[in-house]
Amino acid sequence: MADDNSTSPTAPVAPSLTVSAVFIISYLLFLVITALAGNGLLITVIIKRELLQKAHYYFILSLATSDFLNALLKIPTTILGRFDRNWYPSYIVCYFTTPLGVLFGAASVFSLSSVAINRYLVISSPLNYSDRMPPFLAKVILALIWLGSFCLAIPPVMWREKDAICRSGRISKEHYTSEVLYFFLALWLFVIVIPSIIMCVSYVKIFLIARYHAIQINSQNNATVMCQETRKRRRDVKAAIVLAVIGGIFILCWFPFFVVQTVHKFGQGNISPIYFNIFLCVMYSNSALDPVLLFLFNAEIRRNLIRLYCRAFQKTNPQVTQSELSSFLTRQANEELTRGST
């Protein structure tokens, strides 16, 4: 959750830059650059290519925004903390940055859960999907995602002392019951357990529906209908597989850090800084992985990225004719269709 300024449990006040510290800082800088570039490009493609006409991309945009802001606002504070635990100019800065890890993490997993439910609606009821998930409802869900994430992130700063927030990251002994309830009933339940159940149930149902339709299609005699339905179902299932992988990667990236944080905050033993740093880097890696996976395996996003790039290329290179550009885009579209039919 990184609600403790993402510092090692046993880190000194002014840690020296050892070889491991330099490696961690370098890796985190790489993640910041990759996540900002990847998610920034993904946000640009979704907005510029008007993909928001589809409700599905409201949730993808929310996911990309949370990853982008995490790389812009939260990970840099971790890097600064590696140089000096007292990097902040004022305690107010700590009260602002401390909830960001929970805020952006919760927004990401809530967006992924919404993506899973939305994909299930697409495949289970394609004919009346637009009635069940109109753009207005998607916008309301999006607002609730960020409102819920904000409400989930704020409570600790209301009772923890400023020294605990800015330096130690320890729980408040005076509010121990509140800390336990918050960490286990709020964070574990709403960020790990419930989203994991939602995504697992949604994608299992998707694959069951896909298998059922495959059996139905194979039993039909109309070859044309069978071919068209098969291609459509394959595209839908492929999209679901990509999203399921992204959701699974989120859980795998965040779950180990949750375990380490739980033991560190409420356990009797000490957690080695090595494990803390490894799982911290794994958790932050999720922000950079999401756009890479979407660009690699989502044909629609990739196709719109190519078109956006080609339009920008033509503006800077007027000698490229419209017919040449259209021919290139047509070849790319045919290649995508060929991949989708295999």
Nearest to 51 by CA among 294, 235, 278, 285: 294
Q: Which pLDDT value is given to residue 170?
A: 67
Angle ∠(231,236,237) on CA atoms, nearest 5: 95
Q: How far is Cα 127 from Cα 141, in angstroms, rounded to an integer?
A: 22
In single-letter form, the type of residue at position 170 comes to R
Q: How far is Cα 341 from Cα 292, in angstroms, rounded to an integer?
A: 23
Tokens in use for 50? 């008007």
Nearest to 190 by CA among 113, 302, 268, 88: 113
Give the distance, in angstroms, between the CA of residue 181 and the centroid of all CA atoms in the same chain. Answer: 25
Q: How far is Cα 119 from Cα 203, in angstroms, rounded to an integer?
A: 8
What are the phi and psi torsion angles at 172 (to 5°)?
A: -85, 120
Q: Can you give the pLDDT of all 342 residues of the chain as single tens digits?
A: 555 444 445 444 444 678 888 899 999 999 999 999 999 999 999 988 777 778 888 999 999 999 999 999 999 988 888 877 777 777 788 888 888 999 999 999 999 999 999 988 888 887 788 888 888 899 999 999 999 999 999 988 887 777 767 765 666 677 778 888 888 888 899 999 999 999 999 988 888 887 777 677 666 655 555 555 566 666 667 777 888 888 889 999 999 998 888 888 887 767 788 888 899 999 999 999 999 999 888 888 888 888 887 766 555 655 555 555 555 556 555 555 555 544
Tokens in use for 12? 């000194």
Q: How far is Cα 212 from Cα 47, in angstroms, rounded to an integer?
A: 36
Angle ∠(118,184,152) on CA atoms, nearest 5: 55
Q: Which pLDDT value is given to residue 12?
A: 42
Residues 271 and 51: beta-carbon distance below 8 Å: no
What DSSP designation does 98 have?
A: T
Nearest to 210 by CA among 137, 142, 144, 123: 123
Tokens in use for 73? 């606002």
Q: Which pLDDT value is given to residue 25?
A: 92
Give the distance, in angstroms, between the CA of residue 4 and the centroid of all CA atoms in the same chain. Answer: 21
Residue 5, Ramachandran bin (φ over 0: left; ψ between -120 and 50: alpha; else beta): left
Measured from the Cβ of residue 39, the count of other Cβ atoms closer than 10 Å reads 27
Q: Which pLDDT value is given to residue 285?
A: 95
Q: How far is Cα 17 from Cα 25, in angstroms, rounded to an integer?
A: 9
Q: Which pLDDT value is given to residue 223?
A: 53
Give the E-state strand segments of 89-130 in sequence order: none
Give the three-class secondary structure for 41.
Answer: helix
Q: Which pLDDT value is given to residue 67?
A: 96
In single-letter form, the type of residue at position 118 comes to N
Q: Which pLDDT value is given to residue 160?
A: 75
The per-residue DSSP string of 139-196 comes to HHHHHHHHHHHHHHHSTHHHHS-HHIIIII-PPPSTTHHHHHIIIIIIIIIIIIIHHH
Residues 142 and 58: beta-carbon distance below 8 Å: yes
CA torsion, ordered 154, 88, 280, 151, to nearest 10 deg:
10
Q: Is the full-model pTM beyond 0.85?
A: no
Residue 9, Ramachandran bin (φ over 0: left; ψ between -120 and 50: alpha; else beta): alpha
Tokens in use for 168? 């130690």
Q: Which pLDDT value is given to residue 50?
A: 76
